[in-house]
Amino acid sequence: MATGASRHSSLESIRVTQGWLEKLCGRFGKCPTPPQAYGIAVELGPLAAWWLRDEVLQAAVARFRELFPHTDPRKTGWTFPPRIPQECGSCWLLLANRDSKRLSLLRPCFAFPVRWVQGAGEHHPHLPRNLIDLAESVLATIERQEKVGPLHTWKLAPGAGDLLEKHDLSQLDWSFESAWAPLAAGLLMATWGTNPKKDVWATGGYKAADGGMVAVDHLAEKAEAAWRLGARVLFVPRGQRDDAQKAVSDRRLSDPATGQALQIGELGKDSSRPSQTLKEYLAQLELPPDREAPKGVRAGYFMRVPDFNQAQDYYRRFILPDVLKDNLPLMEPVQGNSLVTLVSKSLPLVELAIGLVRPASCLLLHNKELAEEARKLSDTIRSEDYPCKFRLMTRQFDGEDYQALLEEFKGLIAEFLGEASSGDLVADLTAGQRVMNLALYDAVPPGSYIVCCQAEQHQGRPKPFTERISIWQKGVRGNKDNKGH
C-alpha cells in the first residue's frame, strides 16, 4: 500500500485536530437531529462508525434512508460494530475519550484499527504523530530485546485502506501509551507471518525499566468498548485484573442468551522481553496457520504454542500430514505390516509411525506410568474418524531394567506375531526411554524392520520438518539405512 505524502496532500484532506473535533461535536449539542447527525457522519467519513455514539449513527442512517430510500444504508459504512480487520499485522487500539464534555458525540472509548506493513517506506503520514512515535519505540524495543531484525522496513498504516484517505490525524495530540501491548503483539505476529483473532483484545503500556507492563486508565470504558466490538477476552496489565472484572460485573458485559461474560487475562510484568511479557496474550491472539501456510510459518507457530495439548493437536492436524507425505517414499523397501511401538508423552510419535508403516496390526507397549496415555491413544485410534483401520493390541509391561524389559518384550512380541514371520514385524524405536529402546531392539527377531525418527530439538520440542527417518532390517548383511530429510 502506498503511504507517501504525494498521495495524501494536506489540500485533499481534512485536518483533524482536538479543536476541529470540539467544533464538530459542539455545533448541535448532545442530541443532533437526523439531518445534523448525517452531516457530522459525512464529515467524519470512515471514522464515523468507529468513533460516533450509537444514537448519532442511528440518526445519520435514518436521514440517509430519507434521502436515498432505494439504497442499502450499509453502503454508508456507518453500521456498528464495523468490520474488525484480521489481515497479518492488524491490531486494534482502545482509545479513551478523555474530554467527554467537549467531545460529547464521540463514544466514551473507541477503537482505532492499524496495521504493520513491510516495505512501505514510511509510516502513514495521516496517523497521529504521538502514535508514530510509539510505533518507533515498539520497533526499537522488539529489535533490541527480542534480538530480531532489522525491523526498519516495518511501518504503521491504517487498518482499513480508506480509513484516513480524506482525514489527516497527524496533529491530533492524544495519548497512545496504552496501545503498546496491541502494537507490540501485532508487530511480532507480522514478523511471524500469522494473523490475529478478532475476539482477543489488550490494553497496556510498557516500560522496560519498570519490569514490563504498566497500568492504564479508563479501564471500565475500555472493557465495555472491547466487548461491544466483539471481544471474547481482554488482557490488562497485572494488578488491574480485579478492576477489569468489576467492570465486567457492573456493566453486565455478558451475553444474556449464553451467560458468557467477557474474560479478563493478565499481561506479564516480570520480563524485559516483550514476547514473554505478552506470552499469554499472544497465545490466544494468534490464529493457527492452516495447511496452506508455508512450512516455516507452521513450524514457528508450533514452537510458540505454550500449551502442550494444543501443540500436540496442531502437530497432528497441520504438520504430521506433510511429514508423512515427505517420508513415505522411504518406506518402499519395508515389507512388514505388523507394527510394535512404545507409548510416549511426547508429540504424536506413535501416529507418525502408524502413518509411515500403515500396518494391518499394531502393538502398543506402555508402562504403568503411561497407562492413561495409552488409553487415550487407543480411543483416538479406534474412533470412527481415524484415517487408518487396523487390529490394535495394547499391553502394559512392568520391567524397569534392561534384562526384565527384554524378557517381557520377547513374550509380548511372540504373542503379537503369532504364526507370522519376523519379516512381517516393524519395530519403531522413536519413542520411549533409551533402555526401553535397547531392550525392544534386542527383543525383536532377526529379519524385522527397524524404524527410527529423529529431529532437531529446541526447548524439549522437535522442530517440525527437520524429521529424519532411518530404516533398516535387523541382521541382514549389506543392509543400508534409508534416511529422510
Taking only the tens place, the pLDDT of each residue in 108-164 is 999 999 999 998 789 999 999 999 999 999 999 999 888 877 899 999 999 987 899
State which H helix or E strand residue 265 sits in.
strand 263-267
Q: What is the mean pLDDT of the chain?
A: 90
Could you tell me the pLDDT band of residue 423, with boundaries at 50, 70 and 90? confident
Residue 440: Cβ-neighbour burial (10 angstroms; 0-12, 13-18, 19+): buried
Dist. CA 104–CA 409, nearest whole Å: 78
41 pLDDT above the threshold of 60: yes
Predicted pLDDT of residue 308: 84
Predicted pLDDT of residue 313: 87
Dist. CA 316–CA 354, nearest whole Å: 12
Predicted pLDDT of residue 189: 94
Placement of cell 465486567 in the chain: 248
Sheet of strand 233-237, all strands in order from the earlier edge strand to the far edge: 200-202, 233-237, 263-267
Could you tell me the pLDDT band of residue 270, with boundaries at 50, 70 and 90? low
Predicted pLDDT of residue 380: 86
Could you tell me the pLDDT band of residue 347, with boundaries at 50, 70 and 90? low
Question: Which CATH code of 3.40.50.10770, 3.30.2270.10, 3.40.50.2000, 2.70.70.10 fits the domain covering 321-483?
Answer: 3.40.50.10770
Dist. CA 183–CA 398, nearest whole Å: 54
pLDDT digit string, tens, across residues 289-315: 999 999 999 999 999 988 888 888 899
Predicted pLDDT of residue 483: 45
Predicted pLDDT of residue 1: 36
307 compared with 428, residue with greater pLDDT: 428
Lowest mean pLDDT among 9-23, 370-384, 449-463: 9-23
Predicted pLDDT of residue 15: 95
Predicted pLDDT of residue 334: 87
361: helix, coil or strand? strand
Dist. CA 40–CA 32, nearest whole Å: 9
DSSP assignment of 74-123 equals: GGGT--SSPPPP-STTEEEEEEE-TTTTTTTTB-SEEEEEEEEEES-SS-
Lowest mean pLDDT among 219-228, 380-389, 431-440: 380-389
Domain definitions of the chain by residue range: 5-76, 90-287, 321-483
Average pLDDT over residues 455-471: 88
4 pLDDT above the threshold of 80: no
Equal CATH topology for 90-287 and 321-483: no
452: helix, coil or strand? strand
410 pLDDT above the threshold of 60: yes
So what CATH class is 90-287?
alpha beta
pTM for this prediction: 0.81
Average pLDDT over residues 221-243: 96
Could you tell me the pLDDT band of residue 5, with boundaries at 50, 70 and 90? very low
210: helix, coil or strand? helix
Predicted pLDDT of residue 121: 86
10 pLDDT above the threshold of 60: no
Lowest mean pLDDT among 2-6, 126-130, 252-256: 2-6
Predicted pLDDT of residue 310: 87
Could you tell me the pLDDT band of residue 458, with boundaries at 50, 70 and 90? confident
Placement of cell 449539542 in the chain: 29
Average pLDDT over residues 271-280: 84
Predicted pLDDT of residue 426: 95
CB 138 within 8 A of CB 21: no
Predicted pLDDT of residue 351: 85
Predicted pLDDT of residue 8: 41
Predicted pLDDT of residue 336: 86
pLDDT digit string, tens, across residues 86-114: 999 999 999 999 999 999 999 999 999 99
Could you tell me the pLDDT band of residue 368, with boundaries at 50, 70 and 90? very high
67: helix, coil or strand? helix
